[in-house]
Structure 1
């Protein structure tokens, strides 16, 4: 009998590709395109943070450091979130990671076994699906609907829970939806987690990017004794540090302790000079953060006013992040067809809503982390498309 040898593993061969990155790559063929695609601050990293990183390099902090993160950074994160959440957080509750994506990887690694189910919102960040797939878990999607202001509902999560549910991923503030979950819904999901024994993995990387009177509540705040959570954070969006790749995860010590072993086998440690810069970000002046968030709020107003004035388009007002999830259903094209048409015929790059799950069909995600001039030019091109239909 002839044996067939496989070159590529099924996990790698079937890994779900991100349509965000696919559209990003297509847009490279249109160098003059106006891009409302990748969610990245258009601000530079604040000077005092850069200076701390440079100083750390000059002081030769370029060697291996502790797997879980340098004590100074773990302590700084613990102090910040102890104050914000009004609960005791110590450095033993903090793991420093290569961005929020590695934090998500660790969170899934310590809570989910192959074949177990992970509930994820739909639409949501597509890498959730990929990370569950990589682990050999089963992703179970729960729709998040526009009629509910794009907020995940506890009753929908309850309907999806089974005896195989190991974790529920929530994302508030939400990418791509710009929504903030209501505290009552979080409280009900926390009660359900205690009742059914699953862990809540809460992606909170946009926690400081909230506008107007919207109130963000962390899963860590719902009840002082609730500890079935892993809260994921990042320096990327808040401090315009996307390229520094510094993230973290906070949770009970029995969740966090194994993560340093996983880090040792994966990347060893995040560079010490990056972590020193992160300490400066937390402990230094926050005026740059306030300035950036204020600027995003102003740009949001421009985008929302322009979008809602275009025939056939509508958008729920984002409460947070720097994304708008625009309803394009009246234009009669699939979101991917529309994104391609806008790129090829109007030199405008957007992200189709279907990139975030089946429930995202009929929408485009537009980022307003770009200049007001770019927003207005993009809306001019959307108007031109509407006029030519």
Structure 2
């Protein structure tokens, strides 16, 4: 390269998934790899959904831009879906459709903060959240979420981290990487803190559909003034197995979405029109299919909990929930060394806790949605194998 690249970008580590996949690219194995590296459904989209995508592809208007904030039917349908899920009243004007939840987060941060500002970020964090903050020159102020075996952050612990340049508190629930689901009271306490200090609460609820309790995840949408400082992020990718189609959303007050619209117009103009049509079909027609897949996800989580009761296992299950489990390894080695050894010698690919923030050297993330429930005994067998 004969030119100078952005020094900030050069200083950011490579994408973690790509790095982990490189560990196994040239290592021979006599048995199939168990890949617990990346959070993707282990099944394709519903057949009727792929048929609908084919139908949409033949419509001339599918090749055109949509409105910047998304097609009106999808915004309306998602508003109705969220209203039912949270037992609240959410309008289409509160919805912006994005090219995946990563873009929802990225544009939200650009609209909220500038270089030199800071945000409160619980650790362990979703690594793409952290990478984007670094790219923007926004300082993450780390809030340790693992306390006495719990993976739920405490709002009171965040208060001393807030100063005049703090712009937001970021939560991810159900959490990536731990799988933990924060109690409604915890989310509401963080909201009260954010409101009192005049900052935003941004909650990434990509995995909300996979929670075990059908009760609303929190009561924030029921507040009359919720749009003043609450921003909700969501993804259709996991619930409808549309990861490659890139479609997500931001739910916020109309004034904030007006600022977000400027950013979206400069990045993708709009989310892919065909992906928006796929998400709309999912909301309207795939409730039964979705519920079947949610039941399967619960079976996988239950199977993982069960096999971790094996008396010969020295790894500890810290939390398990939607798509992910967070485990504590028994070694004095750092997390990356342990993860690479598991991948190269025991054919089990997981991510080291060090990819999810400081103070995580004793942990590994298992993205167990990638495999079937029947694979869980083999997961534990390979972990036990690694102990000797």
| TM-score normalised to structure 1 length | 0.92
Q: Is the 8 A contact 1:180 1:216 kept in 2?
A: no
SS at 1:331 equivalent? coil
The whole-number CA distance in structure 1 between the counterparts of 2:275 and 2:17 is 27
Hey, what does 2:238 align to over in structure 1? 237
Q: Is the 8 A contact 1:173 1:216 kept in 2?
A: no
Q: Is the 8 A contact 1:180 1:215 kept in 2?
A: no
The whole-number CA distance in structure 1 between the counterparts of 2:358 and 2:244 is 30
Q: Does 1:49 align with 2:49?
A: yes
The whole-number CA distance in structure 2 between the counterparts of 1:376 and 1:33 is 14
- Aligned-pair CA distance for 1:121: 0.9
Q: Does 1:133 align with 2:134?
A: yes
The whole-number CA distance in structure 1 between the counterparts of 2:332 and 2:276 is 48
Give deviations 1:263-316, integer Å, cap 9, x for gaps.
221112222221111101111131121111211221222222222324321113
- Aligned-pair CA distance for 1:372: 2.8
- Aligned-pair CA distance for 1:216: 5.4
CA change 1:39–1:158 in 2 (3 A) is same
- Aligned-pair CA distance for 1:22: 1.2
Hey, what does 2:36 align to over in structure 1? 36
In the alignment, structure 1 segments of 5+ residues that lack a partner are: none
Cα root mean square deviation, aligned: 1.9
Q: What does 1:298-317 correspond to in 2, within 5 Å?
A: 298-309=299-310, 310-317=312-319
Hey, what does 2:14 align to over in structure 1? 17
The whole-number CA distance in structure 1 between the counterparts of 2:166 and 2:197 is 8
SS at 1:273 equivalent? helix
The whole-number CA distance in structure 2 between the counterparts of 1:266 and 1:275 is 17
In the alignment, structure 2 segments of 5+ residues that lack a partner are: none
Q: Does 1:337 align with 2:337?
A: yes
Give deviations 1:213-242, integer Å, cap 9, x for gaps.
585524733633232011000011111111
The whole-number CA distance in structure 2 between the counterparts of 1:257 and 1:148 is 42
Q: Is the 8 A contact 1:123 1:356 kept in 2?
A: yes
The whole-number CA distance in structure 2 between the counterparts of 1:332 and 1:315 is 17
Q: Does 1:355 align with 2:355?
A: yes
- Aligned-pair CA distance for 1:146: 4.7
Q: What does 1:250-329 correspond to in 2, within 5 Å?
A: 250-309=251-310, 310-318=312-320, 320-328=321-329
Give deviations 1:24-81, integer Å, cap 9, x for gaps.
2323334742211111110111122222221111122211221111111111111111
The whole-number CA distance in structure 2 between the counterparts of 1:98 and 1:167 is 22
SS at 1:72 equivalent? helix
CA change 1:218–1:10 in 2 (3 A) is farther
CA change 1:160–1:20 in 2 (3 A) is farther
- Aligned-pair CA distance for 1:258: 2.1
Q: What does 1:1-389 correspond to in 2, within 5 Å?
A: 7-30=4-27, 32-60=32-60, 61-147=62-148, 149-211=150-212, 213=213, 217-218=217-218, 220-221=220-221, 223-227=223-227, 228-309=229-310, 310-318=312-320, 320-328=321-329, 330-369=330-369, 370-386=371-387, 388=388
Runs of 4+ residues over 6 Å off in structure 1: none
Q: Is the 8 A contact 1:110 1:258 kept in 2?
A: yes
CA change 1:188–1:276 in 2 (3 A) is same
- Aligned-pair CA distance for 1:165: 0.7
SS at 1:264 equivalent? helix
The whole-number CA distance in structure 1 between the counterparts of 2:18 and 2:376 is 21
- Aligned-pair CA distance for 1:149: 2.1
Give deviations 1:311-342, integer Å, cap 9, x for gaps.
32111342x311110111x3222211111111
CA change 1:367–1:165 in 2 (3 A) is same
The whole-number CA distance in structure 2 between the counterparts of 1:161 and 1:127 is 22
Residue range with higher mean Cα deviation, 131-140 or 46-55:
46-55
Q: Is the 8 A contact 2:89 2:222 kept in 1?
A: no
The whole-number CA distance in structure 1 between the counterparts of 2:86 and 2:224 is 9
